[in-house]
Amino acid sequence: MSYSSQRLEGEHIDLLHRQMPMVLSGHLLTGSLLVLVLWGTDIGHGHMLIWLAVLWGGGALRWSEARRYNADPDRYTRLDHWRTRFLAGAALSGITWGYIGWAFFQPTLYTLFPIALVLPTLVALSVPSVGIYFPAHLIFNLLTLMPFLARALAEGSQLLLFQAFPVVVTMVSCLIFSWRQQATIRESIRLRFANLDLLDQIREENEIAEMARRQAEDANAAKSRFLAAASHDLRQPIQAMELFVSVLREDLADGRNAPPELVDKIAASSGNLGMLLDALMDLSRADAGSLPLDVRDLPLRPLFDRIRDEFSDQAAARGLRLRVVPTHCLVHSDAAALERILRNLVSNALRYTERGCILVACRRRGDGYRIEVRDSGIGIAADQQQAIFGEFYQVGNPERDRRKGLGLGLAIVHALTQQLGSAVTLRSEPGRGSTFAFQVPAASSAAVVANEALDGGDRLRGLCIAVIDDDPEVREALAALVTRWGCRPATGANSGEILQALAATQRPNEPPAAIVADLRLRENRSGPAEARALHRHFGRAIPTLIVTGDTTIDDAVVGDFPVLRKPVQGLRLRARLDALLAAKSAPPNPPAP
């Protein structure tokens, strides 16, 4: 039986049992009145009293049966059981009343007329109650009237046949009405359930619409908070730079040399602005799912070593102990994204831990590994544990003190873990510290080669670096920077100018050791296309680094070239170039000219 038909059948059986007290009351009252009417006939009084006792006993039994049905919590899963018992009760009532038509039958008008009147009337009155379930009515109808008809036909007199005719008409008419009534009742029940389902669907759709409205309002409010906080945090370093530049101008106007500490402060403000722009760009790309990922099998140990080396001194300066548990775990993920997640989590733990320890560990969990950052810090209240993953949200920093961070670290962690197909979890209590954790898949093979940390050596010294940028100031700045590294710059706005610059050197036929190119150039040119032109000219692949300020990148344009986001600090640029040369990574073979 399907779920829908089971609901219909259950409601049908329910309706029969709800009407049972009224039906039984009518049977008992009618039976008592009939015995009273027949008391003065030739029918034995004892015989009638025994029949009446059976009628009352059967009524009490069926009444009790209805009570047991209503008390059964599993009645809808036992419909076959209760349906059979109801049909048995209908048969008991039919046999009891049919007994009168056979045993009390006498060919006298005074006896025959009450029986011929009561039995068809009783069957007709049962149509609105028992007749709503045709099998039950069929049983009761036939068992009640057939004995009387059989006796009447057996006697064969014209009077008895005349008395039997309306009984037959009543019997057939009631069966027809019962069949139609059952169909009507079933359709009514079906429509009622359909309406209830429709109301539930409308209610659910209204709840979904209301939830969507609240989410839209929350998103709008979050956007407003985001823009307000971003505007404030962007203006702060710019304001500091403006003031420092004003001081520098006055010093230069008075003929005084610029104090070194003033230049350092301008550089620090510029670095803070760059950090904020980098964080905003990373967050935007991670939220959009456009952050390029290089997912591969890799060991966690080099990453853990870098985290320990970077943050140990900071932890010691704050009187904290940073414990990074050594690990030999091999995972399948993106190394840069994992490092960014861990750096943000450890940095956040340092910021909100006043004493105690910070633990970074990895443990096996199912078919992957669970990476945890645990601290003994101030903890986070339950009502804030969702909000801290929002942009610019910080616990206990309504004044937007930059020394307490930007409020973007955990938002980036949340977005990056989602892009990696994982989710960051948080366990925390105020005053008892916090544990941030996320799951990473295990490596598919143990043959993983550890990524070597950047050694920052003199690999670049003496090499020729080609700089492609259509902005003269940027080219001049990059040329000065690579010159400080001991490199030989060759600058130009396109590949043709680079070849001209190389031709003016002492080694005109030697290709550059690396290329740094801006993504977007004038005259609808692009850095990757100009770099490929140099690849074709020299007949070899040259390590190439693309620099851009775009938040989204067309993979068809960039290809396999690594990308750095503007603004780029000199140390970071040098580290990426050093890594390219150390790994001898290069784009695919240049296309044929």
Average pLDDT, the chain: 78
User: What is the DSSP secondary-structure string of 321-342?
Assistant: EEEE-----EEEEEHHHHHHHH
pLDDT-based confidence at 20, cuts 50/70/90? confident
As a whole number of angstroms, the distance between CA 344 and CA 310 comes to 12
Q: Which two tokens stand for residue 487?
A: 């490199």
Assess whether pLDDT exceeds 50 at residue 398: no
Of the listed ranges 202-211, 214-223, 225-234, the one predicted with least confidence: 225-234
Percent of the chain scoring above 90 in pLDDT: 11
Residue 437, amino acid: A
As a whole number of angstroms, the distance between CA 70 and CA 449 comes to 71
Percent of the chain scoring above 70 in pLDDT: 76
Q: Which two tokens stand for residue 428?
A: 């925390």
pLDDT, tens digit, for every residue of 428-444? 888 888 899 999 998 87
Assess whether pLDDT exceeds 50 at residue 3: no
Side-chain-side CA neighbours of 349 within 13 Å: the count stands at 33
Q: Which residue has the tokens 């784009």?
A: 587
pLDDT, tens digit, for every residue of 265-318? 666 666 656 655 665 566 565 555 556 677 888 888 888 988 888 888 888 888
Decide if 86 contacts 17 (C-beta within 8 A). yes
* 40 vs 582 pLDDT, higher one: 40
Reduced to 3 states (helix: H, G, I; strand: E, B; else coil), residue 362 is strand
Reduced to 3 states (helix: H, G, I; strand: E, B; else coil), residue 298 is strand
**What's residue 453's pLDDT?**
36
What average pLDDT does this structure show over 352-368?
A: 88
Q: Which two tokens stand for residue 561?
A: 């070239």
* 4-18, 156-170, 494-508: which is most confident: 494-508
Of the listed ranges 1-5, 115-119, 458-462, 556-560, the one predicted with least confidence: 1-5
pLDDT, tens digit, for every residue of 452-507? 333 444 678 888 999 999 988 888 888 988 898 889 999 999 999 999 999 888 78
What average pLDDT does this structure show over 357-369?
A: 88
* 356 beta partners: 320
* 291 vs 354 pLDDT, higher one: 354
pLDDT-based confidence at 520, cuts 50/70/90? confident
* 33-42, 162-171, 317-326: which is most confident: 317-326
Assess whether pLDDT exceeds 50 at residue 448: no
**What's residue 275's pLDDT?**
56
C-alpha 412: how far from chain center: 19
> What is the C-alpha radius of gyration for the chain, rounded to an integer number of angstroms?
46
Contact partners, residue 508, CB within 8 Å, separation at least 6: 502
**What's residue 50's pLDDT?**
92
Query: Each residue of 180-189: b (16+ CB within 10 Å) or e?
Result: ebbeebbeeb
Query: Each residue of 427-436: b (16+ CB within 10 Å) or e?
Result: ebeeeebbeb
**What's residue 276's pLDDT?**
55
Q: Which residue has the tokens 């990922």?
A: 293
Q: What is the dihedral of CA 241, 243, 244, 249, to 10 degrees?
A: 120
As a whole number of angstroms, the distance between CA 405 and CA 233 comes to 10
**What's residue 588's pLDDT?**
43
pLDDT-based confidence at 181, cuts 50/70/90? confident
Assess whether pLDDT exceeds 70 at residue 36: yes
* 358 beta partners: 322, 375
What average pLDDT does this structure show over 96-107?
A: 84
Beta strands of 385-451 (E only): which ranges? 425-428, 434-441
Of the listed ranges 72-81, 164-173, 201-210, 324-333, the one predicted with least confidence: 72-81
Residue 361 sits at φ, ψ, to 5 deg, of: -150, 160
Tell which residue, 494, 560, 551, 563, has the closest CA to residue 525: 494
Q: HEC states along 77-134?
A: HCHHHHHHHHHHHHHHHHHHHHHHHHHCCCCCHHHHHHHHHHHHHHHHHCCCCHHHCH
**What's residue 165's pLDDT?**
79
**What's residue 414's pLDDT?**
83
Predicted TM-score (pTM) of this structure: 0.40
**What's residue 563's pLDDT?**
82
* 244 vs 305 pLDDT, higher one: 305
Residue 419, amino acid: Q
Decide if 589 contacts 540 (C-beta within 8 A). no
Assess whether pLDDT exceeds 80 at residue 171: yes
**What's residue 4's pLDDT?**
57
Q: Which residue has the tokens 């008008």?
A: 109
pLDDT, tens digit, for every residue of 114-143? 888 888 888 888 887 777 788 888 888 889
What's the length of the chain? 593
Label residue 582 exposed, middle or buried (CB < 10 Å: 0-12, 13-18, 19+).
Answer: middle
Assess whether pLDDT exceeds 70 at residue 37: yes
What average pLDDT does this structure show over 420-427?
A: 87
Interhelix angle for 3-37 vs 45-71, to 10°? 160
**What's residue 148's pLDDT?**
86
Residue 520 sits at φ, ψ, to 5 deg, of: -105, 125
